[in-house]
Amino acid sequence: MKSLLRRMHPHRLASTFIILGALSSGILIGSVAVRGVHGKEAAIDSSDATQLKIPDPVNLSTTFTQIAKQVGPAVVNINTETLPAQDSHSRRRHGAVPTPPDGNDQNGDQGQDDGGPDQNFQDFFNRFFGQGPGSDQGSDQVRDSLGSGFIVDPHGYILTNNHVVEKADRIFVKLSTDPEGFQGRAGTVVGVDKDTDLAVVKINSTEPLPTVKMGNSDAAQVGDWVIAIGSPFALSQTVTAGIVSAKNRTIEQGPAGQFQHFIQTDAAINPGNSGGPLVNMAGQVIGVNTAIYTQSAGYQGVGFAMPANTVISVYNDLIGPSHKVVRGSIGIQFQPALSPAVGRVYGFKSGVMVNMVTPHGPADLAGIKAGDIITSVDGKPVKDGDALVNVISARRPGTTVELGFLRGGQKQTATLTIADRAKLYGSQPSGESGENNQESAPNAAQAKLGIDVEAVPQSLASRGIHGVLISQVKPGSFGDETMLAPGLVITEMNKQPITSIDQFQSLVAALKSGQDVVFRVVDSRSPQAGGTYLGGTLP
């Protein structure tokens, strides 16, 4: 067998060489044939070929096409420049760039601030949509950014986002009819509103400019077709289409989001679209494209537009004599989301539980107290905090309202005079960290709630804050599940004021499995923020 294999081996090699030789010959012949076909020596007769003709245009116009032609001319490209720090500071001191109203003060008629936006909401307020090539350069370089906007008045008034123009030293607005290479017309900020991230910019023109038609955003329904127009990645007059995915969407919790209830859409929105219009099938603007949810800094199918009804109200204030938005306030703070246990213990299903009353504010002067539950405004029921903010903020300072509220289960009313929110919350005292006091609590709090507590520091007691200070929380315990945390002061439990550790321990010892437990807590690090209600059902 081995001798047979040895004999077969050279034959196999010889066969291989023969096959390769044949293939090489074939390839060579094929190459010659190709050269024969394409070489100069071969004449090609194409007399039987027919020339192509450009066909007559076919009108495939759709509603999308008509809307794009109708709205497009009023959509503008906004480019801004931010000068190096040493220059821009000097320019601002001399008033070259209008300074927007300060929106970073404490807010009235608000919920608890749970921190900034989720990191996936791409730079929601600051430089959200596309920075230009210079955006990553150092402070000694001019920085460029890009956005969109749309003309709402033929005299040159333009709506856009505040974050498009917020830190700009120079603003250039380019119309759809301006030539390529033209930087744009100089724009001036008329006014901004940080709470809704809106701004009004004006350009000068010798002729009336094209404008958009504003629509009623309340009429928009989930599933409606919409179009977004803007300048993503500096590609001006880009049109994308999608549907309304959701309405009344809040993407930031607490005070930062109390005036932000967006239209959600899956129309493609990308860097540079910010400030552009969201348009319905009637060619009406129903929103201003403001933000996207993204994990890649690009479009992922979820965009947000500020509703037109909010935009119109803000715009009318910004073009007024004061160039700022005036919102009413009654001087309270509340918690936006409450455990169902809170409602069961305090005896209400809908309404707003007051966490804190601003001293000398309208609510304080009318006798409203922390723990009261506001149920109506001028006889109309109030479902929750968002509804209360919408009603009160729309009232003009100096007007009066009648509040219906519950106190101790009893219905009461009070008449209040609306205050200017900006003036009422112009300044607030800063928080103060408590001093550590090592007096320990009895073991019942640890056994039933999973928390350790201490006596309230004198620095807090002197400010009228009494109760027990949480020092530790056991992971997975009832206290942990109820969101109790070290640094919080428990001032009440189930409507019972806490006066000492011993009294707190007695109340805890009396708790039974299946009972609703509600705590009123104050953050020792920022007691001026008022109280928060946390609750759950004891396992």
Determine the pLDDT at residue 253: 67
Top pLDDT among 61 and 216 is at 216
Top pLDDT among 16 and 521 is at 521
Determine the pLDDT at residue 470: 94
C-alpha 53/C-alpha 407 separation (Å) is 84
* Averaged pLDDT score across all residues of the chain: 79
Determine the pLDDT at residue 16: 43
Question: Nearest Cα to 274, choosing from 288, 258, 263?
Answer: 288
Determine the pLDDT at residue 140: 55
- pTM equals 0.64
With residues binned 3-state (H G I as helix, E B as strand, rest as coil), the percentages for the chain, rounded to 5, are 25, 30, 45
**Which tens digits make up the pLDDT trace of 249-290?**
887 766 667 788 899 999 988 888 899 999 999 999 999 999
**Which tens digits make up the pLDDT trace of 69-100?**
999 999 999 999 887 654 333 333 333 322 22
Over residues 336-352, mean pLDDT: 86
Residue pair 415/366 in contact by the 8 Å Cβ criterion: yes
Determine the pLDDT at residue 378: 94
- Where in the chain are the domains? 61-325, 328-424, 443-537
Over residues 494-505, mean pLDDT: 91
For residue 295, what pLDDT band results from cuts at 50, 70 and 90? low
Query: Is residue 247 pLDDT above 80, yes or no?
Result: yes
Over residues 450-458, mean pLDDT: 90
443-537: same fold as 61-325? no
Range with the lowest mean pLDDT among 311-320, 450-459, 462-471, 524-533? 524-533
Best CATH choice for the domain 443-537 from the list 3.60.21.10, 2.30.42.10, 3.90.1210.10, 3.40.50.2000: 2.30.42.10
Determine the pLDDT at residue 143: 61
Phi, psi values for residue 93, rounded to 5°: -65, -30
Question: Nearest Cα to 346, choosing from 517, 530, 109?
Answer: 517
Active site members: 163, 197, 274
Query: Is residue 117 pLDDT above 80, yes or no?
Result: no
C-alpha 131/C-alpha 122 separation (Å) is 12
As a whole-number percent, the residues of the chain with pLDDT over 90 amount to 47
78's CB contacts (< 8 A; 6+ apart) are 146, 147, 148, 149, 158, 160, 164, 165, 171, 172, 173, 174, 184, 187, 201, 275
Q: How far is CA 233 from CA 71, 124, 145, 238, 318, in A?
A: 20, 17, 10, 10, 29
Over residues 129-145, mean pLDDT: 49
Determine the pLDDT at residue 233: 82
Query: Is residue 464 pLDDT above 50, yes or no?
Result: yes
For residue 517, what pLDDT band results from cuts at 50, 70 and 90? very high
Residue pair 368/332 in contact by the 8 Å Cβ criterion: yes
- Tokens found for residue 512: 């039974």
Determine the pLDDT at residue 236: 83
Top pLDDT among 218 and 439 is at 218
Best CATH choice for the domain 328-424 from the list 2.30.42.10, 3.30.930.10, 1.10.3720.10, 2.30.29.30: 2.30.42.10
Over residues 128-144, mean pLDDT: 47
**Which tens digits make up the pLDDT trace of 385-444?**
888 998 999 898 999 999 999 998 899 999 999 999 888 876 443 333 333 333 333 478
127's CB contacts (< 8 A; 6+ apart) are 135, 145, 163, 167
CATH class of the domain at 61-325: mainly beta
Determine the pLDDT at residue 122: 41
Top pLDDT among 37 and 126 is at 37
363's CB contacts (< 8 A; 6+ apart) are 330, 331, 332, 354, 357, 403, 416
Phi-psi region of 272 (alpha: psi -120 to 50; beta: other; left: phi over 0): left
Query: Is residue 207 pLDDT above 90, yes or no?
Result: yes
A 10 A CB-CB count for 462 gives 8
Determine the pLDDT at residue 94: 32
- Tokens found for residue 116: 């900034």
Query: Is residue 377 pLDDT above 90, yes or no?
Result: yes
Query: Is residue 184 pLDDT above 80, yes or no?
Result: yes
